[in-house]
Amino acid sequence: MLSRHAQFIWQAAAMLFLFGFSSVGVGRGLAVEKTPAADEKKGSPEGAAERGYRFLLDKPYLTPDFDQEVFDELWKTWEEPLRTEAGKATPAERRAMAYSRYGLIERPDDPRHRPLQYVVDDKGNWCMNCLACHQGKVAGKVYPGLPNSLFALETLTDDVRATKERLGKKLSRMELGKRFIPLGTTNGTTNAVMFGVALLAFRDEQLNVRPLSAPPSLTTSHDHDAPAWWNFHRRRSIYSDGFAAKNHRALMQFLLDQNNAADKFREWEPDFKDVFAWLDSLTPPKYPWETDAKLADAGHKIFEQHCQQCHGAAGRETRFPNKITPIEEVGTDPVRLDALTVRQRKAYQASWFGEFGKQPLVADPGGYVPPPLDGIWASAPYFHNGSVPTLWHVLHPDERPKIWRRSEDGYDQKRVGLEVEVSDSLPEKAMKLTSERRKYFDTTLRGKSAAGHDFPDQLNEDEKRALLEYLKTI
C-alpha cells in the first residue's frame, strides 16, 4: 500500500483532469454557426440534443476550479509588457485579453460575458466543461464541435495558482495535479487519455473510490489533439486507436472527481444520453470560400482511388470503414498508441464505463483508425497529435515544418489550414517564457513527431493540387 502522503499526491495528480470539457465558444464580433440549442424556438418542447447542449453549458458536474475574483486578478501574474497594458485597460478590454491568452471564447449575447468553455454559476464559481478542448474557432468563426486548438490550459493553471497563492486561497486539484502530470505542453493539446487512466485507477469496477496500492503506469509526455465532434455520428468506436466502443458512458469518465461518488454517475447518466444525442446531431461545416469545381471533381476521383479505402467516402450517411491501420504502415508518432497498456484498456472495459465487459474492446490495437474527413478543412492541425498545421503539409511530408506557431484568427486558404509562422528553432522569447513556448509546436519533442502518413508521395504535384481542392468541399 502507498503511504497516506503518496496516495494524496497521486490522488491530486489524477484528479486534475477529472472535470472533462464541454462548451462551445464565441467572442464578440465572431460569426457563430447555430447549434440545436440556438435553434430552439420559444414555447417548443426541448429535445434530447437541446438538453444535452444546455447541460454542457450550464450544469457543473465537478467542483469549481476558481472563482470570479481569481479570474479578474489573473492579469497581475502576466509577464511584461502585457501586465502593464492590462493595468491600463478597461475591465472589458482586460477580459478580452484574458480570453485571448487562454483560448476562451465568449458566449454570444451573454450579458455576463461568460466563456463557452466554463460553467460559471451565480456565485461566480468557474467549472471547466467538455468544450474547453472540444470547441474552438477557425478564421474567427465558431462551429459546433470544432476542436479548440487555442486552449492554453497549462498557462491558465499556472496563472491561477500564482493568483490563488497571492490571495491566500486554497489550491484546487488542477494546480496540484499539474505538478505531477502535464495538462498539455502545447496550447491546444490535451493529456486527457492519461488522466483517464489515473482517475480510473482510484476506482473499482462499480466506480467506488478505493485505496491505491501502486501508482498507475503513465506516459506523462503524451499530448493529443481533440477530434472534430461533427464526425461522432459516423464513428463506431472512440479514440485515435479506436480501442473503446462509442457509448454515452464513455463521455462521463472525466467526471471522476473524488467528490463524485459512484451513485452520481447513475444519477447523471440520463444527462449524458442527451449529450450523446447532441454530439450525434452535429454536422460538418461547409467551406466558406470559393472552390474550383472542375479541379475538385478531379480530386474526388483521386480520393476514391487513394484515400477512401481507409478514411471512407464523405457524407453523413455513408459507411465509415472504422479500420485500424498498423503503426508500421502509417508511421505516425507511436507515443499515443503505446501510452495505454493492454491491462489499462481491459480495466476500462471491465468497469461501469464498458458495461462490465459487455462493450466491445480492442485491447491491443497496434495502430490508429484513420478518421472521417468530413469538414477536414476546418479541423487543423492534423494527425492525432496535432503536429501538422495544414492539409498542404499533410500532402507534402518532406515540407512539414519543424517548429510552428499559429495565429489566433488567421486562415491559410492556399494551403488549407492554420495560418502559421515556421522556424527551425524557438525564438529567444519562447526560450525564456514558458507561456510563450507553449504557443509553439515543436515536432522534435517526444510524442510530437510530424513524421509518417507518407502515402501522398505516390501522387504527382497536379494530383495533390486536385486532391487538396476536393478536401475543401467535403
Residue 5: per-residue pLDDT: 44
C-alpha cell at 327: 503503426
Helical residues (DSSP H) of 36-81, grouped into ranges:
36-39, 48-58, 68-73
pLDDT per position as a tens digit, 44-82: 578 999 999 999 999 999 999 999 999 999 999 999 999
Residue 8: per-residue pLDDT: 45
Q: In whole angstroms, give the CA distance from residue 287 to residue 143.
A: 12
Q: In whole angstroms, give the CA distance from residue 97 to residue 153.
A: 15
Which residue has cell 511530408? 397
Sequence-separated (6 or more) residues with CB below 8 Å from residue 27: 96, 99, 105, 106, 137
Give SS3 for 230: helix
| Average pLDDT, rounded, for the chain | 90
State phi, psi for 234 to the nearest 5 degrees. Answer: -90, -20
Q: In whole angstroms, give the CA distance from residue 144 to residue 357.
A: 32
Evaluate if residue 373 carries a pLDDT over 70: yes
Which of 249, 246, 257 has its CA nearest to residue 351? Answer: 249
Evaluate if residue 225 carries a pLDDT over 90: yes
HSE (CB half, 13 Å, CA atoms) of 3?
A: 3
- DSSP secondary structure string, 175-208? HHHTTTS-S-SSTTEE-HHHHHHHHHTTB-TT--
Q: Which residues pair with 130 in a beta bridge?
A: 22
C-alpha cell at 145: 464541435
Strands 325-326 and 367-368, by their bridges, are antiparallel
Instruction: Provide the pLDDT confidence category of residue 378 given band limits of 50, 70 and 90.
Output: very high
Mean pLDDT for 418-426 is 97
Evaluate if residue 12 carries a pLDDT over 80: no
91: preceding bond cis by omega (within 30 degrees): no
Q: What is the helix (H) or strand (E) element at residue 161, kind and residue range?
A: helix 153-167
Please say whether the beta carbons of 381 and 225 come within 8 A: yes
Residue 195: per-residue pLDDT: 83
- DSSP secondary structure string, 23-46? -----TT-EE---HHHHPPTTSPP
Q: Which residues pair with 418 in a beta bridge?
A: 411
Q: In whole angstroms, give the CA distance from residue 323 to residue 467.
A: 22
Sign of the dihedral defined by the CA atoms of residues 71, 76, 82, 84, in that order: positive
Instruction: Provide the pLDDT confidence category of residue 194 given band limits of 50, 70 and 90.
Output: confident
Which residue has cell 466506480? 207
Residues, the chain, total?
Answer: 474
Q: Which of 29-43, 190-204, 286-300 has the lowest mean pLDDT?
A: 29-43
pLDDT per position as a tens digit, 85-137: 999 999 999 999 999 999 999 999 999 999 999 999 999 999 999 999 999 99
Residue type (1 letter), 349: Q
Evaluate if residue 196 carries a pLDDT over 90: no
Mean pLDDT for 234-262 is 93
Which of 404, 439, 449 has its CA nearest to residue 423? Answer: 404
